Amino acid sequence: MSFRGRHRSRNPFQSTRQEWVPRGSSSSTTTISASNSTAAPNEIQDKLVNITVECMVCYDMIDPPSDFYLTPHSCGEPCGKPLEKELGLGSGVMKDELCPHVCVLQCHPGPCPPCKAFASPRLCPCGKKVITTRCSDRKSVLTCGQCCDKLLECGRHRCEQICHVGACDPCQVVIDAPCFCKTKFENVIYGDMVVKGKVKAEDGIFSCGSTCRKKLRCGNHNCPEICHPGPCGDCQLMPSKIKSCYCGKTSLQEQRQSCLDPIPTCSEICAKFLPCKVHRCDQVCHAEDCPPCSVLVTQKC
């Protein structure tokens, strides 16, 4: 039989102890010095004589009724303790994530059992079924056991795994197809393709990194861009796109009829920025690319 209170030392004969204060009392605890320690056995003896003990759970002073069905040393009231506490749940846990229920058992020794109430229904990871669990199991991972069937990132195939938590694995389907400009063929994994969604394999599914060189709409020139999906752009030498000489300082006097017609030059200095992006071209308006920069500069070693 134990008579220790909530704030009382286990050994009643220690040099100091704190006097018992009923729950809800505004009185503060007082410390009894060693000279008064002889009062401890007398206090215990009085409790034994008066058959007055402390509830082992809530520590209220009770006069236990004569009930063989009542837990010994229990007040018989509902426990009422919260089944989850903020302390010990770790950082990042919000207060509204704690179990909102309290223990409904009769005042009892030991820890409270897990919450038996039902938590709010939730979807399984793949979204096919609604799962209802006990409140104490609401954080556990439950799957429906069916095929995931979510659309993979490739945009063409679906996940064949059993309902699972987290992102689906990248698509591992292999296809033998040409590049966009149709000069190379390779075995490509759908999950590694840059182009997502539905595409026609015969139109190409990857870039080989070389110049496209497909015929443009004009039928006279080839595409100068790097191997790319989709149609090539318009010919940049079409009459509708050329309105001036090469340097852009003189407008054309006569309308060109075809992209094959020569573009006239003027007598002005080109003045376009050279590849160095610092100096300008000092040659007369010309058709070819500007030459490399020839300006000498001083550099430190």
Q: Dihedral, CA atoms, 24, 30, 36, 40, nearest 10 degrees?
A: 30
Contact between 23 and 59 under an 8 Å Cβ cutoff? The reply is yes
Domain boundary among 77, 108, 125: 77
For 61-78, the pLDDT digits (tens) are 555 556 677 777 777 788
For residue 49, being part of any structural domain is answered with yes
The pTM score is 0.43
Backbone CA torsion sign across 260, 266, 271, 276:
positive
Distance in angstroms between the alpha carbons of the first and the last residue of the chain = 91
Taking only the tens place, the pLDDT of each residue in 76-102 is: 788 888 887 654 455 555 666 678 888
The Cα 41–Cα 12 span in angstroms is 8
Give domain status of residue 32, yes or no: yes
Tokens of 149: 């069937």
Residue the block writes with tokens 């139109």: 203
In a domain, 298, yes or no: no
Using alpha carbons, select from 6, 13, 65 the residue that is nearest to residue 43.
13
Contact 106, 76 (CB under 8 A): yes
Domain-embedded: residue 8? yes
Which range has the worst mean pLDDT, 40-49, 150-159, 242-251, 292-301?
40-49
Domain boundary, last residue among 77, 102, 129: 77
- Report if residue 189 sits inside a domain: yes
Q: How far apart are CA 59 and CA 10, in angstroms?
A: 14
Query: Is residue 56 in some structural domain?
Result: yes
Distance CA 87, CA 109 (A): 20
- The confidence band for 29, taking pLDDT boundaries of 50, 70 and 90, is very low
| Residue 38: per-residue pLDDT | 52
Task: Note the pLDDT of residue 222.
Answer: 92
Q: By residue range, what is the domain housing residue 36?
A: 1-77
Of residues 45 and 108, the one with the higher pLDDT is 108
Residue 154 clears pLDDT 60, i.e. is over it: yes
Tell me, what's the pLDDT at 30?
40
State the total domains in the chain: 2
For residue 301, count other CB atoms closer than 10 A to its CB.
2
Residue 211's pLDDT is what? 92
3-class DSSP state for residue 140?
Answer: coil
The residue from 217, 235, 253 where one domain ends is 235
Cβ-based neighbours of 71, under 8 Å, separated by 6 or more: 106, 107, 108, 109
Question: What pLDDT score was predicted for residue 155?
Answer: 82
Above 90 in pLDDT, residue 281? Answer: yes
Structural domain contains residue 211: yes
pLDDT grade, residue 34 (50/70/90)? very low
> Does any domain span residue 215?
yes
pLDDT bucket at 36, cuts 50 / 70 / 90: very low
